[in-house]
Structures are given as C-alpha cells and as structure tokens.
Structure 1
Amino acid sequence: MTYCVGIHVDGGLVLASDTRTSASFDDVRTHGKMHVFEKPGECVFVLMSAGNLATTQAVISTLRRDIENPEAPFSLFKAKRLYEVCDYIGRVLVANQAHISEKAQQNSVSVEATLILGGQIAGGEAAVRLIYPLGNWISASPETPYLQIGESKYGKPILDRIIDRDTTLEDAARCALVSLDSTIRSNVSVGLPIDLAIIQDGEYRVSQKVRIDEDTEFFADIRQAWAEKLAEAVHTLPPFPWETATNNA
C-alpha cells in the first residue's frame, strides 16, 4: 500500500510520500514514490505514484526518455501549460498500463496506477493535480487545497481541520508529516522513510527535499509533540453533565 499527499497553499506546494511497497506480507521493500523533474528557473514537476510498481516505473522511464530525446514530439520540458503536462502524463500512463496488462491477463493482477502531480511552469500558477488510471485528472481546489492517493483515510482529519490556502508552507509541511505519521501508526502497509518536497511559488525548482526516517530527530520531535498536544487537548475538553454534577455534590 501507499500514501501520498499533495498540498497547494498560497506560498507554493508541499508533497510527501511514504516509500513502502509490499508484494506480499513477507515481501516488504523500500521504493521511492516521489520523482522530481526540474529545469530551474523554467519549470518544476514532482510526480508521486500509487498502484502497480511496474506501471509507475515504466511511466517514469518514458517521461525521462522523452526529455532526453530532442526529437520526441512532446516532453515535460516542452510544455507551455500545466494542463498539457497532465494530458501527456495521462496518455503515457494509459499506454503503459495497456502494454503491461497484455502480459498480466492470466494472473489477475491489477496494473493500474494513480499519480499526483505538483508543479509550476514559468508564467503560470503552481498547482496540484491527481491523474487517474484512465488518464483523466482533477485539480485541488481553494476549498479543498490538497489531494491524496493510496491509504488516505487515516491522514485526512488533520488536513480537513487545518489546511487552507492561507496556511504557510512550513505549517503545511508539518501537517503533511503528521498526516503521514497518523497513517503509518494505523496501517502497517505504509511506512518510513518519508520523502518530503517543497516548491516555493515562483521559484520553478524544488526549494527543499528531504528523506525522513526513524533516525531523523526533527520528525521524532514532531511525533512526540503531536502526541502530547493531543493528550492535553483531550484533558481540556468540556466535561459530561454527570461529571459536573458529581463534582458539585
């Protein structure tokens, strides 16, 4: 299983993903699900994936091959608008799924993959998009400025309660880490390390990219602080009516 989240705030984009993949209960491995494509000063794209690993690796290989081929009819670095990038990645995704499915028909294996794209092209706005297995896509909205793929339910509450377009990039990044931590605690198929990337609006490059594991002190501090503050919050919630009556007796 996988969990990835992309957040769009006024200051830019935050993208975070786990790295755990499991072919079976006794075959658990670490694979990066975040892929960066950037031409500093011109464009930047971060692509995160959930689903069939062979499909996602084939998609990434195709994207990189087209970038390296000057005669390719289209590539990420030839796009003028972000919607062109989404349409292009959607076509690549559908084509690779179709190619792999021909070989997997007898095995009842799902070859589908879902992607989150975060990026910005010079002259355009930053955006986060979710690309479905059919190649169609949606955008994060001002009302819900984040998108998730994979095991999303455990990490959703903090995003719903805290994230809006006015949230700072740093607070959005902290929320993303808490969202990942909540998921890791509740689902063993999602796990460390975590890849975190920040794109500051108008920079057209990845401003910060870090890999977080069990030994990352900052992440341990966030985990501890969040757990302590949650416990404190529970103790300050209003009492039940019968508690008040008992105390007044």
Structure 2
Amino acid sequence: MTYCVGLKFNRGIAFMSDTRTNAGVDSISVFRKMYTWEVPGERIFVLLSAGNLATTQSVVSLLDERSKAVAERSPSLLKTPSMFQAARMIGDTVKEVIATSASGGQNADAFSASFIFGGQIKGGEPRLFLIYPEGNFIESGDDTPFFQIGETKYGKPILIRAYDADMNFSQAAKLLAISFDSTIRANLSVGMPLDLLFYERDSLMVTYKTRLEQDDPYYREVSEGWSEALRAAFNQLPDFPFNA
C-alpha cells in the first residue's frame, strides 16, 4: 500500500508521496513514487504512483525511455501538445503494461496501478489528473481540488476541512504533513520518508523539492503539535449529558 496526494490551488500544485513498499510485515522496502519530466521554460510534468510496484515501474520506465532522443521516439511526453494529451498517453501506457503483464492468463487485477499526474505546458493552465488502472482519467476542478491514491481514508478528512484555494506553499506543506501523519499513524503500510514537491503556476520548472526523513524537525513538530491540538479540542467539547 502507499499514499500519495496531488493538491491544486491558486498558487500552483503541491505533491507528496510516501516511499514504503511492503510484501508482508517482514518485507519492507523504500521505493520512490514521485517522478518528474522537465523542460525548463517549456513544460513540467509530475507523476505519483500507487499499486503493483512492477506495473508502476514499468509504466515510468516506458515513459522515460520514450522521452529520450525525442526526435527519434514516438510517442513522447516531451512532444505532447497539451496536458490532456499527456494524461491520455500515460493512460494508454498503463493499459499497455497491464495487458502485457496479464497476457499469460493471469488476473489483470493483480497488476493494478493508479497515478496522479499534474503540471503545465507553456501556453496552457496548470492541470491535475487522476489516472485509473483502466487507462481512463478525470481532472481536478473547483469541487475536487485534490486527488489521493493508495490508502486514502485516514488523510482525507483534514484535506476536506482545511483546504483553502488561496493558501500558500508553506500552508499546503503543513496540510499535507498532517494528512500523511494521520495516515502513517493509522496504517503500517504507509511510511517515511516522504517526498514533497511544489510547482508554482507559470514557472514551468520545479519550484521546490525535498525529502522528509523520519527525524525531520518540521515534520515532528507538526505531528506532535497536531496531536496536542486534537487533545485540546477534544477536551474543550462538551461531555455527553449521560445520567446513569
């Protein structure tokens, strides 16, 4: 299992992903789930992955391979005319990889994978997509400003309650940190370190990228502060009027 979030707001797009991959309680590994393709000043793409590790790595490897020697490769992410066409290309690649993996008669569900894809191409708007294992996809909008993949239920409430389209990147990082902390505390299949990336509207390059380790002082401060704030809020609420 994993947890990834793409959060679109007026300033740009924030992305965060965990790095834990496990095949049982005694087989835990760290794998990157955030990938970027960038032509500074022309386009920037960010892809987050969840699901079967072999499938996600095959999809990313194919996209990466087809993006090299662009003049000689087709199709290529670096030649797509729009974010929509780029999302469609990723969806087609997902279908291609799953169909190939399941060609021996195995259940295609075993190779399932989903992706969050976002970025911007010069002349267009920043866009954010959720790509399903079937290869189809949906786009974020005013009513759905963020997408989650993987273990989504524990980190969703804070995103819904605290999201603000006018937030800055520091506030977005705080919101994502709380969402991930809530998920990590509730599910052992999601874990540190966490990859964080900001893309600022119209910059057409990665604005900021970092990895938060287990002992990161900011993450620990937010984690502990959120726990204390929840306890304080709980204690301030009225008790149930119970009379035995």
TM over 0.5: yes
- Report how far residue 63 of structure 1 moved: 0.8
Matched, 1:116 2:149: no
CA distance in 1, matches of 2:16, 2:102: 29
CA distance in 2, matches of 1:194, 1:12: 20
Q: Which residue of 2 aligns with 1:161?
A: 161
Q: Give, as a single letter, the amino acid of the residue that structure 2 aligns with 1:83.
A: F
**Where do 5+ consecutive residues of structure 1 fail to align?**
244-249
CA distance in 1, matches of 2:99, 2:108: 14
* TM-score between the two structures when normalised by the length of structure 1: 0.92
* TM-score between the two structures when normalised by the length of structure 2: 0.94
CA distance in 2, matches of 1:142, 1:127: 12
Confirm or deny: 8 A CA contact 1:142 1:164 kept in the other structure.
no
Q: Which residue of 1 aligns with 2:79?
A: 78
Q: Which residue of 2 aligns with 1:94?
A: 95
**Where do 5+ consecutive residues of structure 2 fail to align?**
none
CA distance in 2, matches of 1:24, 1:237: 40
Confirm or deny: 8 A CA contact 2:98 2:108 kept in the other structure.
no
Q: Give, as a single letter, the amino acid of the residue that structure 2 aligns with 1:150.
A: G
42-51 or 165-174, larger mean C-alpha shift: 165-174
Q: What is the percentage of aligned positions where both structures have the same residue?
A: 43
Count of residues in correspondence between the two structures: 242
Q: What does 1:168-247 correspond to in 2, within 5 Å?
A: 168-241=168-241
Q: Which has more helix, going by share of residues? A: 1
Confirm or deny: 8 A CA contact 1:145 1:164 kept in the other structure.
no
The 1:143/1:166 distance shift into structure 2, 3 A limit, reads: farther
Tell me the SS of whatever aligns to 2:202: coil
Q: Which residue of 2 aligns with 1:247?
A: none
**What do residues 218-245 of structure 1 show as CA deviations (whole Å, max 9, x unaligned)?**
11111111111112212222454569xx
- Report how far residue 183 of structure 1 moved: 0.3
Q: What does 1:28-47 correspond to in 2, within 5 Å?
A: 28-47=28-47
- Report how far residue 167 of structure 1 moved: 2.5
CA distance in 2, matches of 1:104, 1:220: 47
Q: Which residue of 2 aligns with 1:2?
A: 2
